[in-house]
Structures are given as C-alpha cells and as structure tokens.
C-alpha cells in the first residue's frame, strides 16, 4: 500500500513538473523586444522586468523569476494598477508573467511563453502584503467549486469593475476567468456589453484572471490566437460549461486552444497531440549552435 502511494506521488510530481531549459536563464537577452511564436510555444526577446516595487501592485512569488514580460505587458500592468488604485482603492497582486527569456515553465500552465500573458489575482489587497506573504501567497477563490456557484463571501463588486477595466484596454485580446465568474459578469452588466466578448470562460481561473495581450504591432513572428466568437458569450454559451459530471473532472486548464471550446475527457484521450516544433529563433536561444 505504502509503495503504491510513493509510486503515485512520483508519477504526480513527474506529471506536473519537468526540467525546462528556459528556467536556467537568470536574465533577459539583450535583443530588441519581440514576442516570438504562439502563447504556448514561443519565447521572448528583449524582455523587461516588472519592477518589484511598483505603484498600485505587488509581485507574488518573485523567487520564481516569472515577472518578465514584453514591454507592452509591463506597461499594461502599470497602467491597470494605477487605475485600480485610484478607482478601486486596492493593490493588485501580480502572479506569473513570463521567464526572463520566455519559453515553457517547468511546472504549471503551458502558455505564458511569449511575454504576453499575465495572471492577476482576484484577491484584492487593500493593505499591502508582507514579504513573507508575497512569497507564499494564499489564494482566495471567487467560486464555491464543489457547488459550482459564486462564493458570495469572497465576491466584491470591485471584481466586476477590475475585470471590465482590463477588458476595455486596447492591448488586451482575451481574459480567462472561471465560467461561474463569467456568468456573474454577464448578470451585472446593464449597459455596453462589447467588452464581455473578450472575457472567456476557462477552468482553473477561480482565484485569478489570466490576461492575454494581442501580438505587438510589428512583431512579425508573433502568432495571435483567433478572435473570440462574436457576441458577449453570455446566456446559453456560458451555461453550457456547467458540468454534467462531478466538478472534479473538469479542472484542466491549458489556456492554449485556438478557439475556446471545452475539453472533455473523451476529446483529450481520443487523439495524441501533435508534437510542437519550437520556432527557430527560440531554439537558437536554448541551443546557440543550431
């Protein structure tokens, strides 16, 4: 019994983490800023670090060195934080952006590779967190996961204003939130609903929103995701995410699909995934003889 548990534990560790050469870069390269490839298969030239002491935000788990991004992403976080501080009187907690040269993380999500993805926590920090709390932050879920409904205890109407503020930014292409949060946003919007199109339901985003910026102008090797389906995505579309099976089986979150179609257990096992080929400019960073 004990050996079965150990084997299971080892399997889980190997499933969720593997060595990534991208983790070994301590600094950005000195090239001009450019996002290369797609969100889940690419890298980042000339990354900028998000300053750890910023105005209106704090950086979580800085020990992981995932606070680098394309300059457009850094500028977006800075302007959103200033606006949130002014209008919502809170600090934003910034989770993963990208590694110093982008590329695949050794654990966690498969996107965030081109410096254009940013996780912003939905736990609003009205008072600043200590260094210890920042390095080991406690998430606050806006969704009661077992009941598949909003956690009214953790929901604050400033969440609506924050997500709307981010979605209205010109540079933002998509924002991923848990379907229950999307439903709540749908029900609260009484006027202009165009921004809701950018807010996409996806599993795993119950305590943070994942903001995805569009490819920067002129970055010819950057691959954009197809635009979200037309319309606000409310009503039947978001309702269709409600699991028919227990919630446990629907927690996967790859954030990488071309469209935002749901992944079912059947779909994920029926066909092996095509092997990703890293863009040449990225391959050269990790193996310069190529």
Tell me the closest approach of the beta carbon of residue 118 to Zn ion, in angstroms: 8
Choose between 96 and 183: whose C-beta lies nearer to Zn ion: 96
The contact set with Zn ion (CB under 5 A) reads 119, 210
Our CB check for Zn ion shows the closer of 48 and 212 to be 212
| Nearest-10 Cα torsion for 144, 149, 150, 152 | -80
Name the minimum Å distance from CB 288 to Zn ion: 29
Helix axes 157-167, 179-188, angle to 10 degrees: 90
Of 48 and 210, the one with the shorter C-beta distance to Zn ion is 210
Quote the least distance from Cβ 208 to Zn ion, whole Å.
Answer: 7
Helical H segments across the chain, by residue range: 2-16, 71-88, 131-135, 157-167, 179-188, 236-239, 265-270, 280-286
Toward Zn ion, which CB reaches closer, 117 or 219? 117
Residue 258 DSSP one-character state: S
Is the distance from CB of 72 to CB of 116 less than 8 angstroms?
yes
State the minimum distance, in angstroms, from the CB of residue 70 to Zn ion: 15
Calpha distance 139→136 (Å, rounded)? 10
């Amino acid at each position: 019994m004990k050996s079965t548990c150990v084997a299971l534990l080892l399997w889980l560790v190997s499933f969720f983490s593997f060595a990534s050469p991208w983790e070994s870069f301590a600094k950005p390269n000195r090239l001009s800023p450019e996002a290369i490839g797609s969100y889940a298969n690419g890298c980042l030239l000339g990354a900028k670090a998000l300053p750890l002491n910023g105005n209106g935000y704090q950086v979580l788990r800085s020990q992981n060195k995932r606070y680098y991004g394309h300059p457009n992403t850094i500028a977006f976080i800075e302007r959103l934080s200033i606006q949130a501080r002014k209008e919502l009187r809170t600090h934003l907690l910034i989770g993963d952006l990208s590694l110093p040269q982008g590329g695949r993380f050794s654990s966690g999500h498969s996107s965030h590779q081109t410096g254009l993805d940013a996780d912003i926590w939905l736990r609003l920090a009205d008072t600043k967190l200590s260094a210890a709390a920042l390095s080991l932050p406690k998430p606050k879920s806006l969704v009661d996961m077992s009941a598949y409904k909003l956690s009214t205890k953790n929901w604050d109407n400033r969440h609506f204003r924050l997500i709307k503020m981010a979605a209205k930014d010109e540079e933002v292409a998509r924002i991923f939130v848990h379907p229950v949060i999307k439903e709540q946003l749908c029900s609260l919007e009484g006027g202009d609903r165009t921004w809701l199109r950018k807010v996409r339901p996806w599993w795993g985003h119950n305590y943070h929103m994942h903001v995805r910026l569009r490819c920067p102008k002129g970055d010819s090797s950057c691959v954009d995701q197809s635009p979200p389906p037309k319309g606000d995505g409310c009503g039947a579309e978001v309702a269709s995410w409600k699991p028919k099976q227990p919630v446990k089986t629907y927690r996967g979150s790859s954030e990488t699909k071309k469209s935002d179609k749901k992944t079912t257990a059947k779909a994920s096992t029926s066909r092996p995934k095509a092997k990703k080929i890293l863009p040449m400019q990225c391959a050269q960073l990790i193996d310069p003889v190529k």
